[in-house]
A and B are shown apart, each in its own frame.
Chain A
Amino acid sequence: MLRYILRRLVILLLSLFIAAVVLFVLLRLLPGDPANALVGVGATPEQIAAAQAQLGSDQPLGVQFLSYLGDLARFDLGNSFVSRSSVLDEISRRLSVTLPLTLAAFVLALVIAIPLGILAAVKADRWYGLLLSVVSQVGIAVPVFWLGILLVYEFSLNLRLLPSGGFPLRGYADPGRAIESMVLPVLTIAIVMSASLMRYVRAATLEVLGSDFLRTARALGESHTGALMRHGLRNAAVPVVSVLGIELSTTFLGAVVVEQVFSLPGMGSMLLLGIQQRDYPNIQGVLIVSTLLVLLTGFLADILQRVLDPRLRKEAR
């Protein structure tokens, strides 16, 4: 197990390094020197040269790359071109919106998908079992931002129950309004996400229902529900956990779009604003932190899978 974690850790670090290289190349491929974006239109050549010296973009590429890696290793993401404030501070402020949104939506999606997915498998021959699997099939084709707009239409504009967007200026110091403004975004992501999770849960449960060990447990006198609870769920959990990491990452990326629907000040709007303002340090910071989170999630999901399924641990060698 320890060996597996170490190996997986090496892959994680290697992935991060490759991600950093890809980002460096992509950002340097952008037309124009970032120095031009820093000083703005109509700057004199002297001002541009000064900005280049300040950013280090007059250095050879190799030197730039090394100092970029050095900065990353020290978690120094630089300062925004526009606001001049620390990118890392801005990101942590933005994450305080995006992370709760992602996690709450993910947990809610699990709460919806696990019981309904199991029900859809166990009662596959009943009309509601069939209905559930049709709903989950249909659900994966629903564009998440469309669902958001429709929910705003119904719950904010028609019923006037919840705000249609925005986030209180004082943030969580105003807990009532902060939570209110999170309800619809969380629902939006959770509904779409639970549809695809339900399909995995249903498929995994069906697999277990047809397995020999469940039949043996029944033959040994356990009740159907008892056998499913005791032996079935743990086995069904393994393939589901393997996709959880990917699903959580998808949730996070879905949040980037959904934030735009509800004008939430999260990572997504930071990236979009950065792109509009050509604020390179902000763009780079958001992409690095997002990639880090996605890769970390995959890493943790892999480890969790090993913990759940001892068979995988043996095969690993």
Chain B
Amino acid sequence: MSAESTELPRRRRRGNATFWLGLILVGGIVLAGIVSFFWTPYALSDMAGGRLEAPSAAHWAGTDRLGRDLFTQLMIGARIALIVGCGAVAIGAVIGVATGILAAFATRFLDDALAAFFDILIAFPTLLIAMLVVAAREEASLGTAILALGIGLSPIVGRITRILTKQVLGQDYITAARVSGTSWGAIVYWHILPNIVPFLGVNLALQFGLAVMAEASLSYLGLGAPPPNASWGRMLQEAQGTVYTAPWGAVLPGLALFALVIGINLLADGLRDRFDPARRDG
């Protein structure tokens, strides 16, 4: 008993620390992305700087091989990473939650079929499918990348939603609600969604990290958003050839990507500690 009382506060404090560190990392990148809509140090296509300049007061992150400002590109890259992450997670959540709840409510046969279908789709290499979907269009665009990644995430969300919904449906208060004449639609809205959202939210945060990483991979492979957009993945691809003379160009975009993904993961961990009643009360 005494061991527990010394153990719990420490863990709680550490949970808070990771939450705040995550919030700072993600917050900084979100801020950079929002500010990039109104202001960037230079125009994206401004080739005024010297080629491959080192970071300086004029160019905070240096310049690329065409003399464009890298800090500007990093800010636009933050915007693109966030749009892709949010877009893909939104698509994945809508499809995943709808099919997951449907599976949980369905008769045995349909439920089994959907569950097996989720498992099969999860085994499917998402990145390869995204590459194919992107390739299917005449020209790669941000929209196709988001759509492809969102579809790729949906079975993962679907499987979790199905399991969570089944847990809620097994509770006595659902039976009570049904007996008192509440419709299934109202049960989904008033009982299922509020109960699964905290846990699902943490999982969606992790999916956000996956989507951002996958988009960077696509862009690195030349299948992401086309040139005027500066995705971190494409910045890395361009900087790779000049990494010896201008290492910062290859280091900074990767660092930004790393900070966003680790920040999201820390945030998710912190949120889980806050929302999970089992953890909260010890």
Binds B, one of A148-156, A166-174, A211-219: A148-156
Measured CA separation A38–B277 after assembly (Å): 60
Q: B44 an interface residue at 8 Å Cβ cutoff?
A: no
Binds B, one of A18-26, A72-80, A114-122, A226-234: A18-26
A140 contacts which chain B residues (CB < 8 A)?
Answer: 265
Give the contacting residue for B220; candidates A11, A145, A249; CB below 8 A: A145
Flag whether A41 is at the interface (Cβ < 8 A).
no
Contact B254 A253 (CB under 8 A): no
In the complex, the answer to whether B123 meets A283 with C-beta atoms within 8 Å is no
Interface window among A57-65, A95-103, A183-191, A290-298: A290-298
Contact with A along B93-130 (1 / 0, CB 8 A): 00000000000000000000000110110011101110
Contacts of B137 in A (CB 8 A): 31
Q: Which residues of the other chain, B, contact A291 by a CB distance below 8 angstroms?
A: 123-125, 128
A18 engages B257 (CB within 8 Å): no
Does A142 reach chain B (CB closer than 8 Å)?
yes
Which of A105-113, A201-209, A254-262, A308-316 has 4 or more CB atoms under 8 Å from chain B?
A254-262
Interface residue ranges of A248-290 to B (CB < 8 Å): 249, 253, 256-257, 260-261, 271-272, 275, 283, 286-287, 290
Q: How far is the CB of B265 from chain A (nearest CB, A)?
A: 6
**Contact mask for chain A residues 68-99; partner B; CB cutoff 8 A; 1 contact, 0 none:** 00000000000000000000000000000000
Interface size class of B (residues with CB under 8 A): 35 or more
How many angstroms between the C-alpha atoms of A294 and B190 in the bound complex? Answer: 40
Is B193 close to A, CB under 8 A? no
- Residue B145 at the chain A interface, CB threshold 8 Å: no
Do B124 and A256 touch across chains, with their CB atoms under 8 A apart?
Answer: no
Question: How distant is the Cα of A26 from the Cα of B125 in the complex, in angstroms?
Answer: 14
Chain B residues whose CB sits within 8 angstroms of the CB of A142 once the complex forms = 258
Q: Are B221 and A283 in contact (CB under 8 A)?
A: no
Residues of A close to B265: CB separation below 8 A: 137, 140-141
* A contact residues around B120 at 8 Å (CB): 14-15, 18-19
A31 to B137, CA, bound (A): 7
The chain A residue with its CB closest to the CB of B258 is: A141
Measured CB to CB, the closest approach of chain B to A9, in angstroms, equals 14
Q: Is B163 an interface position by the 8 A CB rule?
A: no
Nearest B residue to A140, CB-CB = B265
Interface 9-mer from B48-56, B164-172, B209-217: B209-217
Of the listed residues A18, A22, A142, A275, the one surrounded by the most CB atoms of chain B closer than 10 A to its CB is: A275
Chain A interface residue count: which class?
A: 35 or more
Q: Is A4 an interface residue (CB 8 A)?
A: no
B223 touches A275 (CB 8 A): yes
How far in angstroms is the closest Cβ of chain A from B137?
7
Q: Is the CB of A149 within 8 A of B132?
A: no
Most A CB within 10 A of own CB, among B119, B128, B137, B254: B128
Within 246-263 of B, Cβ neighbours of A (below 8 Å) are at 247, 250-251, 253-254, 257-258, 261-262
CB proximity of B149 to chain A, nearest CB, Å? 14
* A11–B137 CA distance with the chains assembled, in angstroms: 32
Q: B244, A138: Cβ atoms under 8 Å? A: no
Minimum CB–CB distance from B14 to chain A (whole Å) comes to: 11
CA distance A21 to B10 in the complex (A): 53
Q: Are A31 and B136 in contact (CB under 8 A)?
A: yes
Closest chain A residue to B239, Cβ basis: A149
**Is B236 among interface residues, defined by CB-CB distance under 8 A?**
yes
Residues of A within 8 Å of B253, CB to CB, are 146
> Is the beta-carbon distance between A150 and B251 smaller than 8 angstroms?
yes
Q: Which residues of B contact A287 (CB under 8 A)?
A: 128, 132
The answer to whether B262 touches A138 (Cβ under 8 A) is yes
Residue of B nearest to A274 (CB): B135
A29 at the interface (CB under 8 A from B): yes
How far apart sit A114 and B69, CA to CA, in the bound complex (Å)? 44
In the assembled complex, which residues on chain B have CB atoms less than 8 Å from the CB atom of A131?
none
Would you list 22 pairs from A and B whose C-beta atoms are within 8 A, ordered by A residue? A19-B120, A19-B124, A22-B124, A137-B265, A143-B213, A143-B257, A143-B258, A146-B250, A149-B236, A149-B243, A149-B250, A152-B243, A153-B244, A249-B123, A253-B125, A271-B128, A275-B132, A287-B132, A290-B128, A291-B128, A294-B124, A295-B123
The 5 A-B pairs with the shortest beta carbon distances in the complex, nearest first, are A146-B254, A141-B262, A141-B261, A275-B135, A157-B244
Given A143-B216, A294-B125, 16 other A-B contacts at CB below 8 A? A14-B120, A15-B123, A26-B136, A31-B136, A137-B265, A140-B265, A141-B258, A141-B262, A143-B213, A143-B236, A143-B257, A143-B258, A157-B243, A249-B123, A257-B220, A261-B240
- Residues of B at the A interface (CB closer than 8 Å) are 116-117, 119-120, 123-125, 127-129, 131-133, 135-138, 209, 213, 216-217, 220-223, 233, 236, 239-240, 243-244, 247, 250-251, 253-254, 257-258, 261-262, 265
